[in-house]
Amino acid sequence: MSRSTGHDLVVAPSRTGPDRTGPERLSMTASTGRQPRPRRLLGMVLAVVFASTLTALVRPAPAAAAPGDLILNGTFDNGTTQPWWTRLASTSTTVNAGQLRVRTSATVGRPVWEDLVGHFEFGVTAAQPYRLQFDAAADVDRPVRVSVSRADTPFTSAVDQTVALTPTMRRFTFDFVSPFGDPKAVLLFHLGAHPASTVRLDNISLLPLAVDAANDPILYWNGVLLATYRALNLPPTTSSREAAILHAAMQDAAVSVTGVGTPYRVRVPVSYPGTMDNVVAPSLHAAIDRAAYDVLTALYGGQGRSYSQARAGAVARGRPG
C-alpha cells in the first residue's frame, strides 16, 4: 500500500482475511492513514436525506399553467396566491376552498384602477386571437373591470370589459385579437371606485386560439378585390398594380396598429385616449378594414363600385377585436 503526502485520497487494493486472501476490494485511505468512521458517514447521509425531504414537504407546489395557458395558478389548487399580487396594501388575498378570495379596499370616489389584483409577465403576440375565461362572484352586487394590457405606458389594452358580479359564481368568456405584441403583458382585475367587498375568482385562463382563415381580414378583402375584377371584367394580370396597392395599404395599417414590422409606405399615427380609464387599443381588423375600404373606393369608386356593403359585411362577420 502506498502512502500519500498532503491531502490526496489514494485508492489502494487490500485483501480480506488475515492471510490477505479472498477477493480484492477498493478502499479509500486518507493521507493521515485513518479510515473514515461509518457512523459519521451514515449520519451525514441521513442528514442530507432528511433535509431534502423536509424542504420538499414545506415548500408549496410551484405555480403551473395548463398546456397552452398563459396564466400561472389560475385554479389556485396549490393553495397559494402566487404569482397574483395586489396594488394596495390594504387589499388582501387568500385562497379558500380552491378560490382566490380578495378583500378589497374602500375606494369610493377614486378611479376604478386604484385597487387592482393582477398577474404580470406573460407574452401576447400581435394579431393572435385569444380567449380569456374566469369564474367570479362577490358578496354584494358590484361591477368589476377586467383587462389584458401593456404593463407600461400608454397601458394599452387588448381587451377591456366590465362585468356585473353577484353572490352567485358565474363564468365569463371574452374572445379578442391582440392588436399589439408584448412579452410582459398583464391581466388586471380593477376593483376600485367601490366600497370594501369580498370578490371570489377561480379558473382563470388565457388561451391562444387557432387562427381561422375564414376570419382573416386580408383574405376577406382580397376576395372583394377579385369580385371587383369579375364584375368589371378586369383580368387580374393587368390589375396587379392595384392589388399591390391594396395589400401595401393593409400592411401599413397593421404595422401602424401593432407596432410590429416595417411599413411599406407610411406609418399611420395611432392615437390613444391617454387615460387609465380608457386605453383600449384600436382594433387591428378595423384598421385593415378601413384601409382596404379607402383604397378600393379610390381605385374603383369612379367606375360605379360601392364598398360600403363589403365593409359592413366585414364588421358583421363578428371577428373578435
Report the alpha-carbon distance of residue 164 to residue 199 in Å, rounded: 12
Q: What is the DSSP letter of 81?
A: -
Cell readout for 307 is 364598398
Report the alpha-carbon distance of residue 17 to residue 23 in Å, rounded: 10
Length of the chain, in residues: 321
**Listed residue (174, 168, 197) closest to 101, CA to CA:** 197
**85-208 is a CATH 2.60.120.260 domain:** yes
Residue 171 buriedness (CB in 10 A; 0-12 / 13-18 / 19+): exposed
Report the alpha-carbon distance of residue 104 to residue 91 in Å, rounded: 5
- Count CB neighbours of 310 within 10 A: 21
Report the alpha-carbon distance of residue 213 to residue 274 in Å, rounded: 33
**Listed residue (109, 73, 116) closest to 91, CA to CA:** 116
CB 9, CB 28: distance < 8 Å: yes
Which phi and psi angles does 20 have, rounded to 5°? Answer: 60, 25
CB 192, CB 107: distance < 8 Å: yes
The pLDDT tens digits along the chain (321 residues) read 444 444 433 333 434 444 444 433 333 333 444 445 555 544 444 444 333 433 333 333 444 455 689 999 999 999 999 999 999 999 999 999 999 999 999 999 999 989 999 999 899 988 789 999 999 999 999 999 999 998 877 778 889 999 999 999 999 999 988 888 888 899 999 999 999 999 999 999 999 998 777 778 888 899 999 999 988 888 877 788 899 999 999 999 888 877 767 888 777 766 655 454 555 556 778 888 999 999 999 999 877 778 988 888 887 765 544
Sequence ranges of the domains in the chain: 10-58, 85-208, 213-316
